[in-house]
Structure 1
């Protein structure tokens, strides 16, 4: 699939059929690797030239917004497919590949009546895409909120022993809890394990001998238990801290453990459900935005062609996809089919050349703008 297309209109001097044949012949002879298609625009309602001029001021801004929304949804699809381990899919619009929809574009008269004022069509397209864009923001925020909660839990479970959640490392049998005895959880630097084992029994008076047990180790720390009399726990914490050992606050509670487990499972289910729902929504919405964008491009090409060539409407609209190396050659072909009048005036090399209608950066003696599908 090509990713970059030009939508172009050429002024018709005599017959659109003749001009189309000349263009086909020139492309075939001089740039045979450039795909060329007719871009069929219906007879839209022109209105007044003043209304067209007013509309042209908004066309570029609206196009940037609609194009941006299209690309935003496509990137979201790519991210979701990657996160789901899905092979990148070929997106479709109305059941056909994206590039096919563009190159075989057909105006949807039922959705966009050609007798409607151009501004009404443009405003309707903009409003529809804006609604989709707002909906996308809400859905992404909802999905990211669940992801953030899961990431926070995962950080607690995968961080160092100094900060991570200990509930899945400490088992009920590791804990002694009675009226007089308590088990504390110590985080010991790995290089200080010998020091811990040689001194923990004497840090305070009421430590149970040989009660320390290694539960877990990571790259930095080792996790140990130590059992002592309840009344000596606070003093032990102070003495341990003085020796560089951290006593973690921990209380084993089977109900809390089960509640955390259920919360984690629910968040994981919610994430998968939201991911799947968002992906399906993106598939559908991408098609809606893309069809809106192509209809907008048709209106834009029509309006700018009237402003460029005058009334009555007499122009040939086409879609091309030249390779980078063929671009200059194709531009020359297109300019040659416009006749010689005012060609110099529209050359981009001239610093004083007229800015293109709708704010195009590259100006030519014909209407042209670029469609980037990715």
Structure 2
């Protein structure tokens, strides 16, 4: 729904059809590129003037809330479609494009009986939209929770060697663990590798000569193994740290590695399932909220027309979509028709 629309009300002096013809004639002569449609509002229950005045105070606030929820759902749809790599779908209300729903608006008597008090209709719409907003918050929070867990795992696997998970970089044959020997993993600054290779054997006693092997290198660091006697491991860590080398705590466990792999796969599946479910829910809920919003607009136009033009209800409601350049001219046409009616 890229177009901007005005929903307007004009006072009827003699005949709504004559006023409609005059409006069409003026628009076609002076602003021919402005789409114009009737906005069909049924005869709603007026109630008392006091009740209309009290209702009018809440209409603007409720309109802002309902419009805000519709925009919130639309933005969520745009984000989900972008993340999913989907083409942007035209938003619909009961299968009808939103522009067509607005320009061909028909009051839903079954959902909003016209004999109901206006306050009851407005409160019902507000409650329904508020429930949808609460549901949206719960669903988005659930999706974001899984996405956050997945992002945290991905950061661990794609960060620098100083912080990332090392389990997918180390193979069983890289690690020696016996009664006396252990293999440590050292993170060496990329430009200090020569220093490491020339000094690691002397950082402490009982280091196995030529036991260091490079396993991986990123933009900042290189990952090396070193084998030594277990009883001097703490001394080696201290000496390495003093030379600017970081010895990472690591225990090779095929079971833990498989568990992490399964956890990652499950999170990916959960994220895809929740994203798809949330997107479908947003499509349906956007249509529901937009429909509610249009019914609310009809009530607002009806109530404010009576307060402005008086009783009995005698006004012409219509929808226009002027261009930015044509807004001033269209506004002048509408004001002229109001002046002639008065």
Instruction: Tell me the TM-score normalised to structure 1 length.
Output: 0.91
Structure 1 residue runs of 5 or longer lacking an equivalent are 343-374
Q: How does 1:199-214 map to 2 (within 5 A)?
A: 199-214=199-214
1:194 maps to 194
Give 1:95 deviation, angstroms: 1.1
Q: Deviations over 1:240-290 (max 9, x none)?
A: 111110000000001100110010000000000000000000000000000
Q: Distance in 1 between matches of 2:78 and 2:340?
A: 46
The change in CA–CA distance for 1:138 and 1:23 in structure 2 (over 3 A counts) is same
Q: Distance in 1 between matches of 2:8 and 2:341?
A: 18
* Secondary structure at 2:37 match in 1: strand
Q: Does 1:52 align with 2:52?
A: yes
Q: Distance in 1 between matches of 2:46 and 2:298?
A: 13
Alpha carbons 1:188, 1:221 under 8 Å: kept: yes
Alpha carbons 1:9, 1:315 under 8 Å: kept: yes
Q: How does 1:208-227 map to 2 (within 5 A)?
A: 208-227=208-227
Alpha carbons 1:207, 1:228 under 8 Å: kept: yes
Q: Distance in 1 between matches of 2:79 and 2:327?
A: 32
Give 1:339 deviation, angstroms: 2.1
* Secondary structure at 1:216 match in 2: strand
Alpha carbons 2:161, 2:221 under 8 Å: kept: yes
Q: Report the aligned-residue RMSD.
A: 0.9
Q: Distance in 2 between matches of 1:163 and 1:340?
A: 76
Alpha carbons 1:203, 1:239 under 8 Å: kept: yes
* Secondary structure at 2:318 match in 1: strand
Give 1:2 deviation, angstroms: 4.5
Q: How does 1:338-349 map to 2 (within 5 A)?
A: 338-339=338-339
Give 1:208 deviation, angstroms: 0.4
Give 1:198 deviation, angstroms: 0.3
More off after superposition, 110-119 vs 332-341: 332-341
2:328 maps to 328
Q: Deviations over 1:293-338 (max 9, x none)?
A: 0000000000000000000000000000000000000001001101
1:167 maps to 167
Q: How does 1:70-81 map to 2 (within 5 A)?
A: 70-81=70-81
1:234 maps to 234
* Secondary structure at 1:45 match in 2: coil
Q: How does 1:1-374 map to 2 (within 5 A)?
A: 2-339=2-339
Provide the aligned length of Structure 1 versus Structure 2. Answer: 342
Q: Distance in 2 between matches of 1:238 and 1:184?
A: 13
Q: Deviations over 1:26-63 (max 9, x none)?
A: 00000000000000000000000000000000000000
Q: Which aligned runs of 4 or more in structure 1 are off by greater than 3 angstroms?
A: none
Alpha carbons 1:2, 1:321 under 8 Å: kept: no
Q: Distance in 2 between matches of 1:266 and 1:9?
A: 55
Structure 2 residue runs of 5 or longer lacking an equivalent are none
Q: Distance in 2 between matches of 1:279 and 1:151?
A: 20
Alpha carbons 2:12, 2:341 under 8 Å: kept: no
Give 1:340 deviation, angstroms: 5.2
Q: Deviations over 1:202-240 (max 9, x none)?
A: 111100010000000000000000000011101100111
